Amino acid sequence: MKKQNSTPKLLPEKVIRPRVSPEEVGRYYLKSELGRIFPGQKEIRENLDRRIDKLDSFEFWRLLQALSFAYRLNYIFLFVGNSGYSWSEETWRISRLTLTGINPDINAITFSPEISRSPIKFRDFLKKYFADHPQDDPQKLNEFRPSQRPIDYPRIILREDEANILLLDGSNRLIELMFRQEEEVVAFIGRKNGKKEKFRIGDSTFLLLRNLYEKGDSQERRAVLKVVKMLLGISLDGRRAVENYWVRHPRDEKLKAVGRSLLKAHTSKST
């Protein structure tokens, strides 16, 4: 039997809390992301933080999907909503972290042999770059230019993957901390826990698939149903989404019947 608790392969400088709920990690991400939309507006940010804390679980996962998938197009929603990961809060030396993809232009720098995904080497590259370009920005790296603004959400989000501690979110804050001579960072970190991985897919995915099904010909409809069945098998939230958006919401009885058939097939496969 697989172990049900995550065991670190790489040890941090300090374990602050060995168990943190996925929702706490996700809510922190929402606060930090919305804080970027309203920089320097403390009252608005504090109001948003309070509102995020009051979101019920259903609203929280909806908003996390929207900000992570639709707005930022990152993997936070997939990892935070993955039953195969457990989370903790820890302190890590920045030099031990590994950068991940940011965008193609920046990746060309960070994934180069010279930088090799090292936060320290990337910081040193940026120091020279900004010294050489105090007024212009030919490589479009201004988002990393040092500022004197407070870092409102200093924790970052990491995950352990074999021999690496990978950055999931917080690259700008991490670079800013390094420019301020910080050598360590507090982070939420996710590790595989040995459980079967099931993901949150998000209601909008199943609603989109229903719309595609309604517009498709017979061959396309079969293809859509194949995808829905696959997602039902790997998701934590698929059954509820199909019940809502393929059975309860539609007025078309034929579509409702298709939804019920999907649920029945999923139940049979699960038992």
pLDDT tens for residues 69-114? 999 999 999 999 999 999 999 999 999 999 999 999 999 999 999 9
Same domain, 184 and 100: yes
The average pLDDT across 189-197 equals 96
**Long-range pairs for 71-78: beta carbons < 8 A, 24 or more residues apart:** 71/33, 72/33, 74/168, 74/169, 75/168, 76/26, 76/29, 76/157, 76/168, 76/169, 77/26, 77/200, 77/202, 78/199, 78/200
**In whole angstroms, what is the distance from residue 232 CA to residue 225 CA?**
10
Band the pLDDT of 2: cuts 50, 70, 90.
Answer: very low
> Which of 145, 160, 192 corresponds to the end of one domain?
192
User: What global pTM score does this model have?
Assistant: 0.91
**In whole angstroms, what is the distance from residue 136 CA to residue 267 CA?**
60
> Which of 170, 192, 214 corresponds to the end of one domain?
192
Q: Please say if the pLDDT value at position 3 is more than 90.
A: no
Same domain, 169 and 139: yes
The average pLDDT across 61-66 equals 97
Band the pLDDT of 271: cuts 50, 70, 90.
Answer: low
Same domain, 110 and 173: yes
**In whole angstroms, what is the distance from residue 200 CA to residue 59 CA?**
14
Token pair belonging to 93: 């030396």
Q: Which of 62, 35, 20, 234 is nearest to 154 (CA)?
A: 35
Q: Are 189 and 159 in contact (CB under 8 A)?
A: yes
Q: Are 111 and 98 in contact (CB under 8 A)?
A: no
Same domain, 170 and 245: no
**In whole angstroms, what is the distance from residue 97 CA to residue 177 CA?**
14
The average pLDDT across 30-47 equals 90
Between 88 and 270, name the one with better pLDDT.
88
Between 250 and 3, name the one with better pLDDT.
250
- What is the tally of structural domains in the chain? 2
Q: Please say if the pLDDT value at position 10 is more than 80.
A: yes
**In whole angstroms, what is the distance from residue 9 CA to residue 80 CA?**
20
Report the alpha-carbon angle 241-220-255, nearest 5: 45
> Does 271 map to a domain?
no
Q: Please say if the pLDDT value at position 39 is more than 90.
A: no
Note down the domain range covering 223: 203-265
Same domain, 40 and 122: yes
> Does 1 map to a domain?
no
> Does 228 map to a domain?
yes
3-state secondary structure of 189: strand
Token pair belonging to 146: 């040092």
